Structure 1
Amino acid sequence: MRIPTKSLTSLFTLTGKPLARTLCTAAETRTQKLERIADEIRDLTKLERYDYSVLWRHKMGLNKYGPAVSGLGPSAASGSGAGSGVEAKAAEKSAFDLKLEKYDAAAKIKIIKEVRTFTDLGLKEAKELVEKVPVVLKKGLTKEEADPILAKLKELGATVVLE
């Protein structure tokens, strides 16, 4: 079977221009666009660049805890039910965040002192942290590390949870 030459010519041209020339033009406009974006970012103030980086990470699904989880997890992909997937995820969790939800106003000083014992914060920083209720006091604790701290803070009159 033979294809007419005229059909081949029309196949390799777009809008009357040869295909190679069209691809080069598209690459050049892409490069110009990227250069324009880079120039605009460079012209931003420090604060605007910081805001942009936060927005970019948010839009890309990234945050300080790592990349966003998308798709099915390994337990759901293997065909197990949704209930067992939730149970397996809860059983796998080994790092917890200690969150102060509220506290007794009378026990504020004692709670600040206790927060200073398990964090490396000074008095001023610990006070500011406690006053920002609800706030995560410590991240990445194991269950064994968190239990004594949790018990002590509850004893002082604080409402504390592990997340």
Structure 2
Amino acid sequence: MASTITKIPTKYLFMHLISSSPKPPVSRFFSTDTAENRNQKLERIADELLDLTKLERYDYSILFRLKLGLNRYGPSVSGVTSPSASSPGASASETKAAEKTAFDIKLEKFDAAAKIKIIKEVRSFTDLGLKEAKDLVEKVPVVVKKGVTKEDAEAIIKKLQELGATAVLE
């Protein structure tokens, strides 16, 4: 016995159920007047939700989850944060420094005798040619590498300092 299932849009199914039943059963908790008002209210809410833009629907879904207590992923993206989200003694600059994942390496100065070695080192961790690396090193102070992880940046700075250059992490 195979059964066939047809997909009927829920709006039509709901309207069919309302119109096909002779009268909703009267309960001791609500009368038929409130049931009809409730149906009209739900239809009005559904129509208003369908009229929202994508961004408004997204904001509404976040707000609705928060109201229901379903915010298991922390505060919403809209920037609203709870006071307990950060520690009471933490300042904004400390939280920014903690969140930073990409760093820049800035060459501040170097020993003139080690210029050629520094140019070679700059070429090794950048994709620059000899002339571009030379021009870059001669523009001291200058950022020689951007968007590096902290571990890689510290290794590069250590190499540059061994050659006689002063480099800092930004």
Q: How does the TM-score come out when normalised to structure 1?
A: 0.51
1:83, distance to aligned residue in structure 2 (A): 4.4
Given candidates 86, 92, 106, the residue that maps to 2:99 is 92
Counterpart CA distance in 1 for 2:149 and 2:124 is: 17
Residue equivalent to 2:167: 160
Larger radius of gyration: 2
1:144, distance to aligned residue in structure 2 (A): 1.3
Counterpart CA distance in 1 for 2:82 and 2:140 is: 41
Residue equivalent to 1:119: 126
Counterpart CA distance in 1 for 2:140 and 2:119 is: 12
Counterpart CA distance in 2 for 1:105 and 1:161 is: 18
Given candidates 137, 140, 150, the residue that maps to 2:144 is 137
- Secondary structure in 2 aligned to 1:106? helix
How many residues matched? 90
Q: Deviations over 1:40-93 (max 9, x none)?
A: xxxxxxxxxxxxxxxxxxxxxxxxxxxxxxxxxx59x64566843221111000
Letter aligned with residue 110 of structure 1: K
Percent of matched pairs sharing the same residue: 73
Given candidates 147, 151, 154, the residue that maps to 2:154 is 147
Q: Deviations over 1:123-142 (max 9, x none)?
A: 11100000000100010000
Q: In the TM superposition, what are the counterparts of 1:2-41 in structure 2 within 5 Å?
A: none
Q: How does the TM-score come out when normalised to structure 2?
A: 0.49
Counterpart CA distance in 2 for 1:143 and 1:98 is: 10
Letter aligned with residue 151 of structure 1: K
Structure 2, unaligned runs of 5 or more: 1-78
Structure 1, unaligned runs of 5 or more: 1-73
Residue 110 of structure 1 pairs with residue 117 of structure 2: yes
More helix by share: 1
Counterpart CA distance in 2 for 1:85 and 1:138 is: 26
